[in-house]
Amino acid sequence: MKQPLIECVPNFSEGKNKSIIDAIVQSIASVENVKVLNVDMGSATNRTVVTFVGPPEAVVEAAFQGIKKAGELIDMRFHKGEHPRTGATDVCPLVPIRDITMEETVQCAIQLAKRVGEELQIPVYLYEYAQPKDYRKNLSIIRAGEYEGFFEKIKKPEWKPDFGPSEMDAKRGATVIGARNFLIAYNVNLNTTSVRRANSVAFDVREAGRVMREGGKPTGKIIYNEDGTPKIQPGMCKAVKAIGWYIEEYGIAQVSMNLTDINVTPLHKAFEACCISAEKRGLRVTGSELVGLIPLKALTDAGKYFLKKQGLSTGVSEKELIKIAVKTLGLDELKPFKPEERIIEYLIADPKESELISKTVKDFTDTTASESPAPGGGSVSALCGSLGAALGAMVANLSANKKGWEEQTEWFSNYAEQLQTAKDKLLQLIDKDTIAFNQVMAAFALPKNTEEEKTKRKKAIEDATYNALLVPYETMKISIECLDILQLMAEKGNPNSVSDAGVGAMCIRTAVIGAAMNVKINAKDILHLYNVQDILKHTEELEQLAEQKEKTIRQIVQQKINGN
């Protein structure tokens, strides 16, 4: 069972002295079970964003050590930078990543804040989900006045810290600790050096919008509501915070954004909003910059969006979707963008779970041919299924992008996406099947000297064998779903690729029947703990169905080849 994971993204007020950042990162990385994923230093902002993950207790300890070390090495009395800040560790959010609730993450944030306040004697404010008081949930409101203004602000009763002393620490400042959802820090590059113009774009885009003025001019008088409050013109994008700034390092102005909920405003929508506003103001967006890490879905969604705008099929590989997104968003304008270093799922993935599919075709077949019993028939069945799905996706994409078939692009594209999803799931099952087999072997290797050990070993063997049965059973269920689509591709797809649909169907049939053999051979060793009769019955049905559907598709293919 995978353990719970929390992501921590502390922002330190140092972006120029690498030795200081190295020392802080080392203090974080020294905690067992913590993995540092990314260190993003910004010279102009004089700020570094560190991203690390781990189980809750380890993350809390690592965050504490990072905050402690930052307080020792960073002197806020001499700090200058473009980004708003309150202390050596400006903000330290905890983000639930896997198998942990927001409520549990909040408790971790409170535990960390309490310890920082009491042991390090640094003033600490809670924010977002960890903050019970509504007026103190928003980071920008807490941070208003910044380091320089906090010496007076902290003395006000309403701004008493949640933990630690009610007196500003001149050297270390104050820090803000909380729990939040995944946030994307994202900067859009403009072809101007004007902060005023960049702010105009930021105000157009951000949810908070701008104060309305007479004539719509910055110098016009403020327009007020009947209750005396300034009238606000909302921005184009919900769940987006934004400001404009000038980055001397790049010689350009940027719109610096925090996307707080990419389900509300995804990356590509925020980018396009900046493009629209910039064009309206005689400016041009030249590219963009990611600070820290990004979820895979944010880039694949962007890739699909831009392909759809071009009238092309969106049913392409994950790698291709990422490439389209990076190029269209200009994420590589200022520095190279390496997906393997910036996408969080890639960074936290266990290499063992993709050991086989990462091999070359030659290495995979050589490994299969070796005297080792794994990878075996189960893994090869999953590989056959993935190849069948891939061939179907190819036919769908060729049909979707065929000249003169534009009205059918979306129809074929949807099927291409479904087959890409099936292909990716089947690829994962290649390694899962071998991992499951190795777990069976490990169970057989358990000691059996006492009756207690024998009982424990017997249960471990049956548990592992049942899991080894479920993997090829999953291969069957995913593979069989591809046959209906392959039949449609044979009937309605690009006629020049009808043979590919036929070969794809034959691969799927092999996957189903091969996986069935692995289900049955494992089932015979399951004697006590699990009832597998329903699975065996369904296995027989899927075998027969695969035979029938593949035969039908081959007949269609043969007729098309013969010109009928």
Residue 149: which residues within 8 A CB-CB, separation 6 or more? none
- The reply to whether 267 and 204 lie within a common domain is yes
CA 303 to chain centre: 14
The pLDDT of residue 238 is 96
pLDDT of residue 219: 73
Please tell me whether residues 263 and 131 are part of one structural domain.
no
Q: Which pLDDT score, from 0 to 100, does residue 1 have?
A: 52
Q: Give the C-alpha distances (Å, rounded to integers) separating 256 from 90, 241, 330.
A: 17, 8, 15
DSSP, res 2: P
Say whether both 65 and 158 belong to one domain: yes
Q: Closest Cα to residue 93, out of 76, 79, 118, 113?
A: 113
Domain boundary among 283, 318, 348: 348
* Confidence (pTM): 0.84
Cα 412 versus chain centre, distance: 27
What CATH number does residue 166 fall under?
Answer: 3.30.990.10
Choose the final residue of a domain: 132, 162, 179. 179
Same domain, 399 and 526: yes
- Indicate if 167 and 196 belong to the same structural domain: no
CB-CB contact of 190 with 198 (8 Å): yes
Cα separation, 430 vs 420, whole angstroms: 16
Amino acid letter, residue 400: A
Residues 418 and 557 reside in one and the same domain: yes
**In 3-state terms, what secondary structure has residue 256?**
strand
- Taking only the tens of pLDDT, the chain with its 564 residues reads 568 999 999 999 999 999 999 999 999 999 999 999 999 998 878 999 999 999 999 999 999 999 999 999 999 999 988 788 999 999 999 999 988 999 999 999 999 999 999 999 999 999 999 999 999 999 989 999 999 999 999 999 999 999 999 999 999 999 999 999 988 999 999 999 999 999 999 999 999 999 888 877 777 888 888 888 888 899 999 999 999 999 988 999 999 999 998 989 999 999 999 999 999 999 999 999 998 889 999 999 999 999 999 999 999 999 999 999 999 999 999 999 999 999 999 998 888 899 999 999 999 999 999 998 889 999 999 999 999 999 999 999 999 999 999 999 999 999 999 999 999 999 999 999 999 999 999 999 999 999 999 999 999 999 999 999 999 999 999 999 999 999 999 999 999 999 999 999 999 999 999 999 999 999 988 877 788 999 999 999 999 999 999 999 999 999 999 987
**Cα 300 to Cα 321: distance, rounded to the nearest angstrom:** 5
Tell me the β-bridge partners of 354.
none
Of the candidates 342, 416, 421, which has an alpha carbon nearest to the alpha carbon of residue 385? Answer: 421
Per the structure, how many domains does the chain have?
3
Close Cβ partners of 252 (under 8 Å, ≥ 6 residues apart)? 189, 190, 191, 192, 193, 246, 286
CATH of residue 293: 3.30.70.670
Q: What CA–CA distance (Å, rounded) separates 233 from 207? A: 9
**Torsion sign (Cα): 222, 225, 229, 232:** negative
Q: Are 131 and 10 contained in the same domain?
A: yes
Catalytic residues: 83, 433
Q: Which domain holds residue 529?
A: 353-561
Say yes or no: 458 and 340 in one domain. Answer: no
Does 363 lie in the same domain as 323? no
Q: Are residues 156 and 198 in the same domain?
A: no
Same domain, 161 and 265: no
* Joined tokens for residue 236: 């184009």
Q: How far apart are CA 183 and CA 260, in angstroms?
A: 5
**C-alpha 212: how far from chain center:** 37
Q: What are the CA-CA distances from residue 99 to residues 61, 103, 137, 279, 397 (Å)?
A: 19, 12, 25, 44, 36
Same domain, yes or no, for 308 and 376?
no
The residue count for the chain: 564
415 phi, psi to nearest 5 deg: -70, -35
Q: What does the pLDDT read at residue 212?
A: 87
- The residue from 154, 179, 204 where one domain ends is 179
Domain with 367 in it: what CATH number?
A: 1.20.120.680
pLDDT for the residue numbered 281: 94
